[in-house]
Homo-oligomer: A and B are copies of this chain.
Amino acid sequence: MQDLIDELGRMPGVGPKSAQRITFHLLKLPREDALKLATAIIEVKDKVTFCERCFNVSEGPLCGICTDERRDTHVVCVVEEPRDIVAVEKTHEYRGSYHVLQGAISPIEGIGPEQLKVKELLGRLDPEGVTEVILCTNPNIEGEATAMYLARLLKPLGIKITRIASGLPVGGDLEYADELTLGRALEGRREVE
């Protein structure tokens, strides 16, 4: 029992108290229900791998987006993690393809471009006839450093490199915006058509 508590406690967001609560909950469950959870964990590990092309999570060699012929492969949206693809897809604003770096540059954690899927991104540009790369990494220190690195790397190749906008959130209020964000919103102001 302590083994299970320890293992559960290693999951993100699960502290020792939650781990204990889950364990007692599992003990009370009928055997088949607990088995379902165990099998689901094994299946996920057996079936889900990473897409060979974009490194999104995938149940086959290519992910659902890479096999979808309606997607525009001339635009590549570069994100840090597969969960960021979920976020962008929810906007229904994007019909291009993706590339998951599987992380961001972070000297403190010893993560450099070599640890990320950068080489693989470079290898896709020519064969897929990519005309625009959207740098959609997080607007925090690591994400900005990664975007800057990629911009410098890709710019000489003559491809259009864009960065998602920083600014005020929709529905927000000037009064509650931090100075940096409001500064970027002003700097990035766009002409009204």
Residues of B within 8 A of A83 (CB): 175
Copy count, this protein chain = 2
User: B161 touching A192 by the CB < 8 A rule?
Assistant: yes
Given contacts A84-B174, A175-B84, A192-B155, contact A165 B162 (CB under 8 A): no
Given contacts A91-B179, A174-B138, contact A188 B165 (CB under 8 A): yes
Which bucket holds chain A's interface residue count?
Answer: 35 or more
User: Which residues of A156-193 are within 8 A (CB) of B?
Assistant: 160-175, 177-192
A165, chain B: closest CB distance, angstroms: 3
**A8 in the interface, Cβ–Cβ < 8 Å?**
no
For the complex of A and B, the 4 pairs showing the least CB-CB separation, nearest first, are A165-B167, A167-B167, A165-B188, A91-B183
Q: Which A residues have a C-beta under 8 Å from some C-beta of B?
A: 77, 79-80, 83-84, 87-88, 90-94, 134-136, 138-141, 147, 151, 155, 160-175, 177-192
5 A-B pairs with CB atoms under 8 Å apart are A79-B174, A93-B183, A134-B186, A165-B166, A165-B168
